Structure 1
Amino acid sequence: MSDKKHLKLSRRSVVAGLATAGAATTLGLRQSSAQSATEVSYNSFLDPANANDPRSAAQSRMIEAFEKANPSIKIKVVVDPAGANGIRAARTKSGSPDVIRVSNFQLAEFAATGSILPLDELVVRDKIDANDWLIPLEQTKVNGRLLGLQQDYRIPILIYRKSRFADAQVTTPPRTYDEVGALGARLTKNNTIGYAIPIGLTGGIGGAQAFVEFILSSIVAGNTDPFFAPDGRNIGFSDERLLLAATTVRDLFGKYKASTPVTLQFGYNELQDGLRAGTVASASFGLYRYKGLERQVADNDLAWAAAPSMSPADKHAVYGFQLSINANSPRKDAAWEFVKYMTSPAAQMIAARGGEVVARASAYDDAYFVSPEAADQQGWKQLVQQRGRVVTYSVIQSTFNQIAGEAFQRMILRSGTPESVVTEIKTRYAEALAKA
């Protein structure tokens, strides 16, 4: 082989080698980039592996869209159905998870740990419209600080079996508790409960959460009164409002027989089972369970209306889920980008297709909301805007729920007085708070 030919081959080999090296270097950079991506852990009760929950599927699509737009950030979902992992991390000042999905009724407890990052300055800095929400962000603050951005809202609704109402010749859903009481004699018979009042301790975060969520919180807070003080410690509602709630519930069980003692053991699941089976004709329940129930009830026999209240147009306490940032996280910047996207109108349009009553007002401009599929969500959205109130909850909310549930149960089972309920709740709550 001539020197000239050898030189050509050598040059060819060098070029090929450089190309190979370049490719390897590029691949290495890509691998390095992937390996150096910031991983944000996201604490959520929605399990990406749950193929039967449209909300989980929507969450996965939102995360996928975020990661595509932000390739340097990867999201790891930490599934936490009861929220125990999130509050434990906040109490122990752990640096992870970075983002926590917190319900409004848990937020005061999280705030008391000092482990939730205030977002007020970030919202102003990034020019997030504080009024582009069904309920303005100002009303969702805890003790004057914005500790999360709202993803969705939940308001109690009356769910009823149409056939039970038709059989009793009830043509209009009850708007007030007086009207609920009037249904007792017509609906509560044989194995059917006219209006179930769930005061059981099963389900939820703790205590009689279903009772407090659907009935008690709205009555005692009313249209303008606080539920708890701004710091989430002292009771904010008056003795008169609590006495009104106790008298109303006592009469629904006793005087009107709209409900029966069976429901004293009902929580979320028992109430849903009763509505599905038709042994419960109606109940104040969660809109987030309506679609699931609707699929389980044959012959289009399920309907909803605004939940009853003391007067026809009274406010209802609403809550939902906020995305909060762990103040101890070393990845707060990336966490904020994720929170900002997940509560943006674009992401909320995706969440809406999972069935949520999303929080951003402008998301409802999406074409999805003129489809028949979204009709219920539109109705619930209007309820939230017209009759919803965000209230402050206790730093020991689950304990309060249990105290309240037990006091009301005792009143019904032992023919106690509404005054005894007021005394028991106030006394036991003060004792529990002193130990907290």
Structure 2
Amino acid sequence: MSIRRAVAAATAIVALAGSAAGCGGDSAADARTLVYWASNQGPSLDFDRATLQPQLDEFEHVTGIHVQLEVVPWSDLLDRLMAATKDDDGPDVVNIGNTWSASLQATGAFVPFDGQTLDKVGGRDRFVPNALAAAGAAGTPPSAVPLYSLSYALYYNKRMFAEAGIANPPKTWDELVADGKKLTKPAKGQWGLAVEGANPAENAHHAFTFSQQYRGQWFGPGGDATFATEPNVAAIKRYVGLMADEHIVNPADAGYSKNESRADFASRKAAMLMWQAAGPSLQQAGLNADEYGVAPMPYLADPYTAGGVRINSMVAGINMAVYKHTRNRTGALEFVEFMTSDKEQIILNKAYGSLPSVRSAYSDAAFRTPEQEVLFQVLNSTAAPLPQVPEESQFETLVGTAMAELFADAAAGRPVTPESIRAKLSAAEGKL
């Protein structure tokens, strides 16, 4: 018997001995423990446990509901979430990458946040619209609600830029390449840019953003995959080409998948980094806050941006979802309401350097720092949600893995050509 079932059974026995109360409905009154899978947001699992546990203790103090916490690494999270859709003894409440919302929604395993359910956690109008747009397929109730909001930005080392005679961060990819060449000094172990070449999710996120700038689509209006199109080939050529053609990325980055690029930036082995809310992690790694700057991600130079295609990030972030199999739906929704309250949004997003997902929390000065201002500007004006289609999670895995293979080719000195990219994308599309 699981811990959760044991606790529920013991509580039920006590309740029956005392009275007949608590026997009806969805047995919400009987299940006094919620199992919560949190995503790894900070520099380590221990950091997340230390950040979250005091808040979970506060929730228990207020409600009497104990929350059993497990922090799940990103490398395991999607597989475990999908497995739990078939397990009625799985977790009650989970964090999900917001790009997976439609894929997980399609399983039918999650409580839909229709109007009435949204009202139980504060109502639709509390949430940042762009964040809520990445919570499920269009025209359907969201399968989750936003918890932490994020966007990509370009982090750059001010001292390294000054030493190279570069006055300002790049605004276009051509400028980034030019700056990267000035900053790349392989003999000194210094590179212009760090990437996570073996990380499928990171690769897929950049594939989406670059494709948007080339006016590309990964799925057509009817939801059919359109992986091997010219805009998508050009987008991946541009991104992988930062290593393969421009040589401003260390070939060793082709094997990076666990935040090594962030560590290289923090240790001054790379002058630029494209990341989501990196500040707290960089500072914990020993990089002074005044040593790095934050700027919006670059765009393509004209004529590509003519016509208003100015997307430089996906709508990034973490959503919170409730499994239908929970034995305490009322308590689970109370927990979601607690975690999305102004107080908790301020505490947790401060700790992680992310942005609140509820409008009213922005009154706190912590979200008006230079870094937060850039992230907020991007999230609310130049970010787009990844396709909210059931196959989105497969897109991330298949296209992201194909790009990892292309990075491996680049690191080995094998040419990365439009033809080789198109072949990889066609093969990925065939696996859907």
Distance in 2, Cα, partners of 1:51 & 1:97: 18
Preserved CA contact (<8 Å) 2:237 2:421: no
- Matching residue of 1:328: 325
Distance in 2, Cα, partners of 1:133 & 1:305: 25
- Matching residue of 1:158: 154
Query: In the alignment, residue 69 of structure 2 is paired with which amino acid?
Result: V
* Cα deviation digits, residues 238-295 of structure 1 (max 9, x gap): 71321221332354335533334332223343212321232211121232x3322124
Higher mean Cα deviation, 219-228 or 168-177?
Answer: 219-228
Distance in 2, Cα, partners of 1:353 & 1:76: 23
SS in 1 for 2:149: strand
Distance 1:321 1:166, change over 3 A: same
SS in 1 for 2:233: helix
Preserved CA contact (<8 Å) 1:229 1:392: no
Preserved CA contact (<8 Å) 2:244 2:410: no
Distance 1:228 1:51, change over 3 A: closer
Give the counterpart of 2:99 among 81, 87, 105. 105
- Matching residue of 1:430: 429
- Matching residue of 1:211: 203
Preserved CA contact (<8 Å) 1:209 1:401: yes
- Matching residue of 2:176: 180
SS in 2 for 1:117: coil
Q: Which consecutive residues of structure 2, in runs of 5 or more, have no partner in the other structure?
A: 1-16, 23-28
Higher mean Cα deviation, 233-242 or 400-409?
Answer: 233-242
Distance in 2, Cα, partners of 1:172 & 1:196: 19
1:378-417 equivalences under 5 Å are 378-392=373-387, 394-396=392-394, 397-410=396-409, 413-417=413-417
Distance in 1, Cα, partners of 2:70 & 2:398: 26
Give the counterpart of 2:271 among 275, 281, 284. 281
Query: In the alignment, residue 300 of structure 2 is paired with which amino acid?
Result: M
Query: In the alignment, residue 377 of structure 1 is paired with which amino acid?
Result: Q
Q: Quick check: 1:361 aligned with 2:359?
A: yes
Q: CA deviation at 1:37?
A: 5.7
Q: CA deviation at 1:172?
A: 0.6
Preserved CA contact (<8 Å) 2:161 2:167: yes
Distance in 2, Cα, partners of 1:187 & 1:420: 29
Distance 1:274 1:238, change over 3 A: same
Distance 1:131 1:410, change over 3 A: farther
Query: In the alignment, residue 290 of structure 1 is paired with which amino acid?
Result: G
SS in 2 for 1:43: strand
- Matching residue of 1:252: 242
Q: Which consecutive residues of structure 1, in runs of 5 or more, have no partner in the other structure?
A: 1-27, 202-207
Preserved CA contact (<8 Å) 1:228 1:234: yes
Distance 1:198 1:77, change over 3 A: closer
Q: CA deviation at 1:218?
A: 0.8
Q: CA deviation at 1:197?
A: 3.5
Distance 1:60 1:170, change over 3 A: same
SS in 1 for 2:315: strand
Distance 1:351 1:254, change over 3 A: closer
* Cα deviation digits, residues 351-375 of structure 1 (max 9, x gap): 23323322112111135546xxx55
Distance in 2, Cα, partners of 1:112 & 1:188: 45
Query: In the alignment, residue 194 of structure 2 is paired with which amino acid?
Result: A
Distance in 1, Cα, partners of 2:70 & 2:242: 42
Distance 1:129 1:248, change over 3 A: same
Distance 1:198 1:368, change over 3 A: closer
SS in 2 for 1:336: helix
Distance in 1, Cα, partners of 2:37 & 2:275: 26
Preserved CA contact (<8 Å) 2:267 2:287: no
Preserved CA contact (<8 Å) 1:411 1:420: no
1:29-178 equivalences under 5 Å are 36=30, 38-45=32-39, 53=47, 55-71=48-64, 73-81=65-73, 82-83=76-77, 84-90=79-85, 92-123=86-117, 125-126=119-120, 128-136=122-130, 139-144=133-138, 145=140, 146-178=142-174
Pairwise CA RMSD: 3.4
- Matching residue of 1:307: 297
Preserved CA contact (<8 Å) 1:411 1:417: no
Preserved CA contact (<8 Å) 2:92 2:326: yes
Distance in 2, Cα, partners of 1:37 & 1:254: 55
Distance 1:129 1:336, change over 3 A: closer
* Cα deviation digits, residues 188-219 of structure 1 (max 9, x gap): 12322112343124xxxxxx333333x22211
Q: CA deviation at 1:180?
A: 0.9
Q: TM-score, normalised by structure 1?
A: 0.77
* Cα deviation digits, residues 41-89 of structure 1 (max 9, x gap): 11113599x8962x54442333233333323x33222332232433321
Q: CA deviation at 1:424?
A: 1.8
Distance in 1, Cα, partners of 2:341 & 2:68: 20
- Matching residue of 1:292: 281
Percentage of pairs with the same residue: 20
Distance 1:329 1:428, change over 3 A: same
